[in-house]
Homo-oligomer: A and B are copies of this chain.
Amino acid sequence: MTDDRRSAGTPTLEDVARAAGVSRATVSRVVNGVRNVDPAIQEVVRQAVSVTGYAPNRAARSLVTRRADAVALVVSGAGTEAEAGREGSGPQRSGASGGPPETPGGPGSSFTAQVFADPFFGRVVTGVVDYLRPRGMHPVLMFAETARARDEVVAYLRQGSADGALIVSTHAEDPLPGLLTEAGLAAVLYARPARPVRISYVDLAHQDGARLAAEHLLAVGRRRIATISGPLDVPAGQARLAGFRDTMERHGHPYVPIAEGRFTQESGEAAMGRLLAEHPDLDGVFAANDLMAMGACHVLREHGRRVPEDVAVVGFDDSSAALACRPPLTTVRQPVEAMAAEMTRLLLDRLARPGSPATSVIFEPELVVRASA
């Protein structure tokens, strides 16, 4: 600590030491979080810090520890420079379900706006923040949907402004995880990357979740069941469809009508319209996320179908949309907050033990039965 750099009048380490009646070295140890200091002395020093208004300069400390004590939370995409700040047809998530819904900002809205229009991202932030806060850390929020923005993230980590990155990809083909691992930077992903990358991640057992949905629809007596899938170029969309079809065929239902959506409410409405037009007698629908399930409920009601009496609807995620929907959705819970907290734990663990091998943690989904099925 070089407090000499501080301007006159600003309280120094010496001021704190005097106020606490302890040595400068002891204050330094407490302020820098070194262990093995008597708790009573720690408390005395902390009170002296509070009384004097002393604040250690974090930049100076970072030069000593080589740690920023900060992590970047990056929402990334696969866009190119030409797309200048937003993805062509709107983000699609590779691992999570539920892309951004139609936003008040409309199709011209920024990537950031599209991202936050989906309740999923707020849940990720919640999990990350709730894990970091008790550790005195705060996430730096970054977006990286263009090549330039990805370079900025790499540079930001290289220059030590953050110690590592938590990445939520909106596209299966996102190059950021590969860029970070090649640069030897610490990073953890939410959801399995589409292509093999030596990086830690958390994910959900999507197929098991879809199985729960299929079994529930069959258990409540539905026999003409269709599905609104997520985008089939992303792993979560594929896995949920595969799990659903597998379960249906195991129960003797070889044919399942499918309409592909984009994890948005709007796309769920359009998909439901197509399914109803071709299969007006359907009595059950599994939508691969809650926003699409909510859109399906709207269209079913507009076509005079009661939910669940005429058509039972099951969603996926258990996001805020599940409770906002009328009737409230029976859905498959993805514990996003817990998964995001675990992703953060994996990153801090990696920072504490550099060189430890990449790992994966897979969460189990649960069926949440409400009124829609």
Binding site for B on A (CB under 8 A): 5, 50, 53, 55-60, 62-63, 68, 70, 72-73, 101-105, 110, 112-113, 116-117, 119, 121-123, 125-126, 129-130, 133, 136, 138-143, 149, 151-152, 155-156, 158-161, 265, 294, 298, 301, 318-324, 326, 333, 337
For A155, what are the chain B residues with a Cβ–Cβ distance below 8 Å?
A: 55
Q: Nearest chain B CB to A16's CB is how many angstroms away?
A: 13
Could you tell me the distance between the alpha carbons of A293 and B103 in the complex, rounded to whole angstroms? 18
For A337, what are the chain B residues with a Cβ–Cβ distance below 8 Å?
A: 105, 113
Q: Nearest chain B CB to A22's CB is how many angstroms away?
A: 20
For A156, what are the chain B residues with a Cβ–Cβ distance below 8 Å?
A: 138
For A104, what are the chain B residues with a Cβ–Cβ distance below 8 Å?
A: 318-320, 322-323, 333
Tell whether, in the assembled complex, residue B63 and residue A5 are in contact, meaning their CB atoms are under 8 Å apart: yes
Tell whether, in the assembled complex, residue B110 and residue A158 are in contact, meaning their CB atoms are under 8 Å apart: no
Given A102-B323, A129-B141, A140-B139: A58 and B159 interface contact (C-beta under 8 Å): yes
Q: Nearest chain B CB to A288's CB is how many angstroms away?
A: 18
Closest residue of chain B to A161, judged by CB?
A: B58
Could you tell me the distance between the alpha carbons of A60 and B59 in the complex, rounded to whole angstroms? 7
For A119, what are the chain B residues with a Cβ–Cβ distance below 8 Å?
A: 116-117, 119
Q: Nearest chain B CB to A67's CB is how many angstroms away?
A: 9
Tell whether, in the assembled complex, residue B141 and residue A112 are in contact, meaning their CB atoms are under 8 Å apart: no
For A55, what are the chain B residues with a Cβ–Cβ distance below 8 Å?
A: 155, 158-160
Q: Nearest chain B CB to A68's CB is how many angstroms away?
A: 7
For A322, what are the chain B residues with a Cβ–Cβ distance below 8 Å?
A: 104
Could you tell me the distance between the alpha carbons of A319 and B104 in the complex, rounded to whole angstroms? 6
Tell whether, in the assembled complex, residue B140 and residue A101 are in contact, meaning their CB atoms are under 8 Å apart: no
- Please give me the 3 A-B residue pairs with the lowest Cβ-Cβ distance, nearest first: A116-B122, A55-B158, A59-B62
